[in-house]
Structure 1
Amino acid sequence: MAQPTKRILPPLLEESTFDKVLDKLSEIVGEPNASRNHLYGNLEGPQGQNCYDDLWPLGNPTDHTPSGAVRPKTVNEIQRVLQIANEYKLPLWTVSRGRNLGYGGSGAIVPGSVILDLHRMNKIIEVNEELAYAIVEPGVSFFDLYEYIQDRGYRLWPSCPALGWGSIVGNTLDRGFGYTPNGEHAEQQCGMEVVLATGEVLRTGMGALSGSPMWALYKGGYGPSVDGLFYQSNLGVVTKIGIHLTPAPACFMDCVVSVPNEEDIGALVRIMSALEREGIVQNHASIANPYRQALSSEDPLVIGRAVGPGIKGGYATNADMTKLAKEQGWGYWKAHFAIYGASGAFIDACWTIVQERFAAIPGAAATAERHEHKLGGRLNAADLPMGEIPHTGYPRLTAKDFVDIRGAKGGHIAFSPLFPPDGKQLQEWFARIRPLVEKAGFDLFSDFHIFGRYIIGIVLVVYTPAEAARAKSLFDELLKDGVERSSVSEYRTHIHFMDEVRRHYDWGNGILHRTLGSIKKTLDPNGILSQGKSGIWTSSRPLTEAIGNTRL
């Protein structure tokens, strides 16, 4: 990533004033925990970076570059930081650990913002083994919680996404997901502590009842629920959440179903989602196309065939990847999922139903790896094979190397639209966008996630710095195609596209957006918190239009 040659400043602040602000912030958190520019202080990135920014910019390299960072350790320090920000109208951009790299990382929508980095708030407040929940701060990673549970011998399987270095709080608030039965993290969140822009501290649900033991057990509380206001949001700074965990099962089956043809995707997701709705399959299925399958191969020749064209500036064609799948005995689509239970009889019965259902697709192949505690106890995830997908909650970092499959210092962006689970619309959409990806000269990297009542149809675009403009053009085309031809849009997006995706949600003349804007103006009248997040602004005129003195 090219570094700017001139100092980045917050909008509408002179350099001398900004230096004064940094002095005050340093007094609060300590000089080592305040970055006076964006070039240092962040957790190390996948390619050794320590800067704060969008590591893989799609446009001008400084479009989302912050001016510095502050790393508080406590709620009190956050309150004092917010007091300074309100006094000087200093824009902040909140990150938990800054690991949402495919969606902008630690870059900010308003260039020159100061990053409010919460990774030092890394306390695991509580883990309750019997009731299967945890209460954590934003700096707690999936690795941290897993290791905490392992160290104490708790028989719990915490959910984990593909990369375990991210924040549990950050992933949950962005509606991220993992792969255990409690993998829909937003659905498993229960109880939340939030510092508002005014510095006041709010606890949601049963946390509003002083001394209640129910904070992480019953989400509703009394009266209107407000937890949802802080998802993908800039209405406050979330400092704690409760999260429900999966009790370790006595029996576990790691399952794979492959179907031979590209056009089988509709039937595959229709059957898979029905099994999830009926509780036969307890987690969600992830589905890979041949290119994605090749990247997980242990055969270097297979991997080379997939990534070789991209290294040379081309792309792996769908025709060749389809041919490769047939040569390797794969299906075009491969679904990973799992079955969990208290007895071998239960998981065996579920597996029989799975096999019967998929027999309806000609050429479908179903395999499973079965594990059962021999003494009737609960399985320890550490004693089981890691598996390709973290169905046991065992965190890993293997997927981080995918960013370099087209060359050094590569990056990625994820197009993440939603579809109904009957499979018809997904199949039509995939047939339409596949040639768009190839026309743009990128590898077709499909990673679909099948839940009981919806599908996330992720297309991962991996690109080198020289290909960034072309990647952005493809993303623009995918957004336009989705909303205009299928009435679908993303459930989360890169910071570069947040205003655009917000405009897609236009029912009722945009009443949802206008309502959120009104709430933003009430809770954050000075606009200090993550302006533009999810297209929500305090002012009707985005601050990005008034940044004439952000660079000296």
Structure 2
Amino acid sequence: MNSTCIESAIAEWVTILGEPGVVAASAEDFGASTIGARRSIPAVLRPENQEQVSAILQVAQRWQVAIYPVSTGNNWGYGSANPVEDGCVILDLSRLDRIRDFDPELGVVTVEPGVTQGALRHFLDNHEGNYLVPVTGAGPTCSILGNALERGYGITPITDHFSAVTKIEAILPDGSVYRTPLSELGGEEVDGLFKWGIGPYLDGLFSQGNFGVVVSITIALAPVPDTVTAFFFSTKDDARLEALVPAVRAVLRTLGGPVVAINLLNNQRMLSMMTPFPEDKAVDGVLPAHEVERLANSHGVPAWSGVGAIYASKEVAQAARRTLRRLLGPVTDRLVFINRRRINTARTIARVLPGRFATKVLGMADTLSGALDIMHGTPNDVALALAYWRSGTLPAAGQPKNPARDGCGLIWFAPLVPIRGKDVRRYINMIERICPQYGVNPLITLTTINDRCFDSTVPLLFDRRDTDATARANDCYRALCDAGRKEGFLPYRLNVDAMGILNSGDSAFTRLASQLKAAVDPNYILAPGRYVPRIERYEA
């Protein structure tokens, strides 16, 4: 990219945004990434409204300078705020942080990119919004809009967050405004109540795509139920996994209303939440099997643990508990139900226990309380501590966690796995075979995204200060992708260094996506390389 073009574009952007709105990229703020990616970033643009976004894109087209939009840049484990390619100017949308509209009766809200999980929770609490925030484990500082467009998911009632998006407004690469047909025809309200609109469904182009800068989405919120009851179950015998998996499927099919999602976690994933990493016991960065067994026994961690929540009235919740006992009882060693009242009781009991026991009970209560907050649609950063297990420096108490800033090494491998016992076993064997070869401990979570399919999240944790460990972790990711492709376990989202997975082969998908990109963005200035192959391969 011509440096003169960049300088000319920056001069025009300063006129649009003022000098405070155009800043040099700082390695600490934007260059840092938990995956170890490093990009050359000429500048960061910080608009305050969609009119400025439109003007920015018009300048980018004029000078053919590539732009890469981010909502808050807190895309931990997938690249943080880094673009796919070098030389992109970052379009930081965090100042577009308005909650435009909220209908407390119908439960729909319109948010801009800078609205975080924490901000939406605060807004609802102050506007009699008796609804759940679509939270994730990424923490309160992460964008609602960004997570939805990346097809994130959670365990609250609307599990698939993009499915909750009913309306999109975006700025196209030429600076024009995209609105859905119902809104263009004057039906803004009903447009926000009905996802599919009328005519071809084009909103999907803006999900995991690079066809426009989304400046607002309308999402449907799940109402707060009468009761939220967490349930925890476990099995000590790994051999029972094949029986446990269809039981989980049966739970979702039988209790699909009150129970929407279930997590299964292996013992190493559980240990990562309970104890510091025993570096002195590791061999080439990996805990040997006997050490995993010793730690699991000392902390009472079973081979597999499960967690879910019942969202229902008291009467329905009681019936659901009976059904869970019937379905999970034969394939588990333990099944317990926890709500906030029980946690408060535990804290009361801890006050009269001896010091060591009191500390243990309070620690358990705090952990359960954090999990229940997530289930209640209240974001927190309890799960984010995982990123610090192998590296990074935890911030001072009261300060938000930021794994990219704090030096953590984390790459997410997030493949889809059928909810069949034999397929889950094949998948577990694949992870446990490959990860240790690269100095990565196989921490495995399986989360149901419906009653047919798990999304598994495997955090590839490493010491980012060690260049060799960083390289091995990235090699591990590629090896998992290659093996997963052969086995049928492919990721549902990609990090900025892995977009080439979609660029291989002359498929109908790559041809169509590239043709659409060429029509919308002929100069390829918007997020080049993001999910859509470069168009030069298909030029006549």
Normalising by the smaller structure, the TM-score range is 0.7 to 0.9
- Relative to structure 1, the CA distance from residue 271 to residue 240 in structure 2 (aligned partners, 3 Å threshold; closer, same or farther) is same
Q: Specify the SS of the correspondent of 1:108.
A: coil
* Alpha-carbon distance between aligned partners in 2 of 1:311 and 1:325, rounded to the nearest angstrom: 15
Q: Quote the offset at 1:327 in angstroms.
A: 4.0
- Residue pairs, 1:10-25, within 5 angstroms: 11=1, 13-14=2-3, 16-25=4-13
Contact 1:499 1:535 in 2 (8 A): no
Q: Specify the SS of the correspondent of 2:189.
A: coil
* Alpha-carbon distance between aligned partners in 2 of 1:261 and 1:127, rounded to the nearest angstrom: 48
Say yes or no: does 1:338 pair with 2:309: yes
* Alpha-carbon distance between aligned partners in 2 of 1:501 and 1:191, rounded to the nearest angstrom: 27
Structure 2: runs of 5+ lacking an equivalent: 342-367, 393-406
Q: Specify the SS of the correspondent of 2:507.
A: helix
Q: Quote the offset at 1:524 in angstroms.
A: 0.4
Q: Which residue does the alignment assign to 1:444?
A: 442
Q: CA RMSD in A?
A: 2.3
- Residue pairs, 1:9-48, within 5 angstroms: 11=1, 13-14=2-3, 16-35=4-23, 37-39=24-26
Aligned length: 494
Q: Which residue does the alignment assign to 2:262?
A: 285
Say yes or no: does 1:521 pair with 2:498: no
Q: Which residue does the alignment assign to 2:380?
A: 396
- Residue pairs, 1:54-133, within 5 angstroms: 54-58=32-36, 62=38, 64-133=39-108
Q: Quote the offset at 1:316 in angstroms.
A: 2.2
User: Which of 31, 40, 46 is the aligned partner of 1:53?
Assistant: 31
Q: Which residue does the alignment assign to 2:336?
A: 367
Q: Specify the SS of the correspondent of 1:55.
A: coil
Of the structure 1 ranges 415-424 and 399-408, higher mean CA displacement relative to structure 2 is found in 399-408
Say yes or no: does 1:320 pair with 2:291: yes
Of the structure 1 ranges 458-467 and 317-326, higher mean CA displacement relative to structure 2 is found in 317-326
Q: Which residue does the alignment assign to 2:455?
A: 456
* Alpha-carbon distance between aligned partners in 1 of 2:62 and 2:282, rounded to the nearest angstrom: 50
- The C-alpha deviation readout for 1:152-176, integer Å capped at 9, x for no partner, is 2321111100022111110000011
- Relative to structure 1, the CA distance from residue 152 to residue 405 in structure 2 (aligned partners, 3 Å threshold; closer, same or farther) is same
Q: Which residue does the alignment assign to 1:428?
A: 426
Q: Quote the offset at 1:538 in angstroms.
A: 3.3
Say yes or no: does 1:474 pair with 2:476: yes
Q: Quote the offset at 1:245 in angstroms.
A: 1.0
Q: Specify the SS of the correspondent of 2:370.
A: coil
- Relative to structure 1, the CA distance from residue 248 to residue 281 in structure 2 (aligned partners, 3 Å threshold; closer, same or farther) is closer
Of the structure 1 ranges 405-414 and 241-250, higher mean CA displacement relative to structure 2 is found in 405-414
Q: Which residue does the alignment assign to 1:414?
A: 412
- Relative to structure 1, the CA distance from residue 470 to residue 310 in structure 2 (aligned partners, 3 Å threshold; closer, same or farther) is farther
Code of the aligned partner of 1:459: V
Q: Which residue does the alignment assign to 2:352?
A: none
Q: Which residue does the alignment assign to 2:117?
A: 142
Q: Which residue does the alignment assign to 1:203?
A: 179
Q: Which residue does the alignment assign to 1:511?
A: 508
Contact 2:47 2:53 in 1 (8 A): yes
Q: Which residue does the alignment assign to 1:387?
A: 371
- Relative to structure 1, the CA distance from residue 240 to residue 210 in structure 2 (aligned partners, 3 Å threshold; closer, same or farther) is same
Contact 1:179 1:389 in 2 (8 A): no
Q: Quote the offset at 1:109 in angstroms.
A: 1.5
Of the structure 1 ranges 348-357 and 206-215, higher mean CA displacement relative to structure 2 is found in 206-215
Say yes or no: does 1:405 pair with 2:417: no
Q: Specify the SS of the correspondent of 1:438.
A: helix
- Relative to structure 1, the CA distance from residue 231 to residue 145 in structure 2 (aligned partners, 3 Å threshold; closer, same or farther) is same
* Alpha-carbon distance between aligned partners in 2 of 1:425 and 1:521, rounded to the nearest angstrom: 39
Code of the aligned partner of 1:55: S
Q: Provide the TM-score with structure 1 as the length reference.
A: 0.85
Q: Quote the offset at 1:258 in angstroms.
A: 1.0
Q: Specify the SS of the correspondent of 1:126.
A: strand
Code of the aligned partner of 1:533: R
Structure 1: runs of 5+ lacking an equivalent: 1-10, 41-48, 298-302, 373-383, 543-552
Of the structure 1 ranges 139-148 and 386-395, higher mean CA displacement relative to structure 2 is found in 386-395
Ranges of 4+ aligned residues in structure 1 off by more than 6 Å: none
- The C-alpha deviation readout for 1:129-163, integer Å capped at 9, x for no partner, is 22122110011000000011112232111110002
Contact 2:171 2:212 in 1 (8 A): yes
Q: Specify the SS of the correspondent of 1:414.
A: strand
* Alpha-carbon distance between aligned partners in 2 of 1:219 and 1:72, rounded to the nearest angstrom: 28
* Alpha-carbon distance between aligned partners in 2 of 1:495 and 1:476, rounded to the nearest angstrom: 13
- Relative to structure 1, the CA distance from residue 389 to residue 435 in structure 2 (aligned partners, 3 Å threshold; closer, same or farther) is farther
- Relative to structure 1, the CA distance from residue 57 to residue 327 in structure 2 (aligned partners, 3 Å threshold; closer, same or farther) is closer
- The C-alpha deviation readout for 1:188-218, integer Å capped at 9, x for no partner, is 1111101111111111263333243112210
Q: Quote the offset at 1:461 in angstroms.
A: 0.4
- Relative to structure 1, the CA distance from residue 405 to residue 328 in structure 2 (aligned partners, 3 Å threshold; closer, same or farther) is closer
* Alpha-carbon distance between aligned partners in 2 of 1:222 and 1:430, rounded to the nearest angstrom: 43
Q: Specify the SS of the correspondent of 2:472.
A: helix
Of the structure 1 ranges 268-277 and 520-529, higher mean CA displacement relative to structure 2 is found in 268-277
